[in-house]
Amino acid sequence: MTDPSYQGQILSLTTPMVGNYGVPDRKTLDEFGLPKYFESDKIHVNGLIVQDYSYHYSHWNAASSLGDWMKEQGVPGLSGIDTRMLTKKIRESGALMGRIEVDLDAPAPDFSTIQNANLRHLVDEVSIKEKVVYGKGNATKVIAVDCGMKNNIIRHLVKRGVELTVVPWNYPFASEMHLYDGLFLSNGPGDPTMCKETIEELEKVISCPDDQVKPIYGICLGNQLMGLAAGGQAEKLPFGHRGQNQPVLNHQTGECYITPQNHGFVIDCSTLRPGWKTLFTNANDGSNEGIAHTSRPYFTAQFHPEAASGPTDTEFMFDTFLEACKKPMDKITFPVRKPPPPRPDVKKVLLLGSGGTSIGQAGEFDYSGGQAIKVSFSL
């Protein structure tokens, strides 16, 4: 809900029950001065739709209910909706225009008069307005273009020894690249073609002389901006990729990663200029998940390696980027996982299940049972 990439959207959750964990303290900050438990300083969704809302919350880290947090920020929520049915409609028709009405007697809305969020400059709405520096004094200097950057990206880079200078989406960063070891392009909402100033600056950077080359790494919208600067075209997906378990193929190593994703646009790799190649591909629909330059240290990921929230398969990409910042002339390489351990020779298996409870209400028990099975195999 605090991911800036959701700016201008109504979010519908298929999880059967929402709100039973409550919400952490909004005032608690981490060591970098960022909200410790959130991806930005506010809710970015325009509304939340759930099936069952729990008015009673219980969690060691909770400071308030979900409803109270949404009231604080003026964000409406709607419960008692068959969100799985709604999801099926979206799957059949693609992303839909939506509106939450509180007047039961209100006439059906005229959607032709409602502004399409994709026609707004959503990046301009969420990007910072002034330059900010994190990890001041750290050895590796990176400039990051904020198109709606998640806090966990900042955490990952600064924890790895980066002095991170974050600038607005339309900042003239090309003229300052000599001051930095690398360039980072963040995630963000909406149509990437609206970021004309960013694309123009990026075109200058990627076409610089060989002796001025600096590594570039982009995530999500950053991938799309890199693709546009490389001559490619962006296309809107019917309903986007939004979830925590999207399989992605690495063309360099042949491995498959499980990734969290949140995007509605994609780059058509067939339109890229010579010198660029497909780096990652979505195993479900074959759409692009990242590109790379064939000779320079420029690479991107359409998914979210910062893994908040989601699997951590691809966190290594931050290390890959920072290694390139130290050795910009070396070829970009990704680590190959260790081979899986040999299959155990067993005759019997004890399977622990959650029993006859409702779906979605025994997550902790299922997880504990899974961990117990893993431990038993390792003994």
Question: What's the pLDDT score for residue 309?
Answer: 74
Task: For residue 358, say if its preceding peptide bond is cis, omega within 30 degrees of 0.
Answer: no
Question: What's the pLDDT score for residue 368?
Answer: 58
Count the Cβ atoms, other than its own, within 10 Å of residue 194. Answer: 17
Question: What's the pLDDT score for residue 356?
Answer: 53
Tell me the CA end-to-end span of the chain in Å, nearest whole number. 41
Among this protein's residues, is 220 annotated catalytic? Answer: yes
The domain limits of the chain are: 1-114, 122-326, 344-379
Q: Is the pLDDT of residue 372 over 80?
A: no
Residue 11's pLDDT band (cuts 50, 70, 90): very high
DSSP-based three-state secondary structure for 55: coil
Q: What whole-number distance in Å separates Cα of residue 92 and Cα of residue 374?
A: 39
Q: What whole-number distance in Å separates Cα of residue 124 and Cα of residue 202?
A: 17
Q: Could you give phi then psi for residue 225, rounded to 5 degrees?
A: -65, -40
Q: Is the pLDDT of residue 288 over 80?
A: yes
- The catalytic position among 147, 220, 269, 325 is 220
pLDDT in tens, 303-338: 999 987 788 899 999 999 999 999 988 888 888 888
Q: What whole-number distance in Å separates Cα of residue 245 and Cα of residue 163?
A: 31
Across residues 44-70, what is the average pLDDT? 96
Question: What's the pLDDT score for residue 365?
Answer: 53
Q: Which two tokens stand for residue 192?
A: 């990437």
Residue 73's pLDDT band (cuts 50, 70, 90): very high
Residue 339's pLDDT band (cuts 50, 70, 90): confident
Across residues 51-62, what is the average pLDDT? 95
pLDDT in tens, 92-125: 888 888 888 888 888 887 878 887 887 899 999 9
Across residues 132-144, what is the average pLDDT? 97
Q: What whole-number distance in Å separates Cα of residue 46 and Cα of residue 99?
A: 10
Question: What's the pLDDT score for residue 152?
Answer: 96
Q: Is the pLDDT of residue 221 over 80?
A: yes
pLDDT in tens, 232-264: 999 999 888 988 889 999 999 999 999 999 999
Question: What's the pLDDT score for residue 331?
Answer: 86
Mean pLDDT computed over every residue of the chain: 91
Contact 100, 10 (CB under 8 A): yes
Q: What is the DSSP string of 280-346?
A: EEETTT--EEEEEESSSSEEEESS-TT-TTS--TTTHHHHHHHHHHH-TTSPP--PPPPPPPPPP--
pLDDT in tens, 167-199: 999 999 999 999 999 999 999 999 999 999 999
User: CATH for 1-114, among 3.90.870.10, 3.60.15.10, 3.50.30.20, 3.40.50.360?
Assistant: 3.50.30.20
Question: Whole-prediction pTM value?
Answer: 0.88
Q: Is the pLDDT of residue 367 over 70?
A: no
Exposure string (b/e) for 259-290, b if CB count within 10 Å is 16 or more? bbbbbbbbbebeebeeebebbbbbeeeebbbb
Nearby residues of 76 by Cβ (< 8 Å), 6 or more positions away: 47, 48, 70, 100, 102
Question: What's the pLDDT score for residue 128?
Answer: 97
- Class of the domain covering 122-326: alpha beta
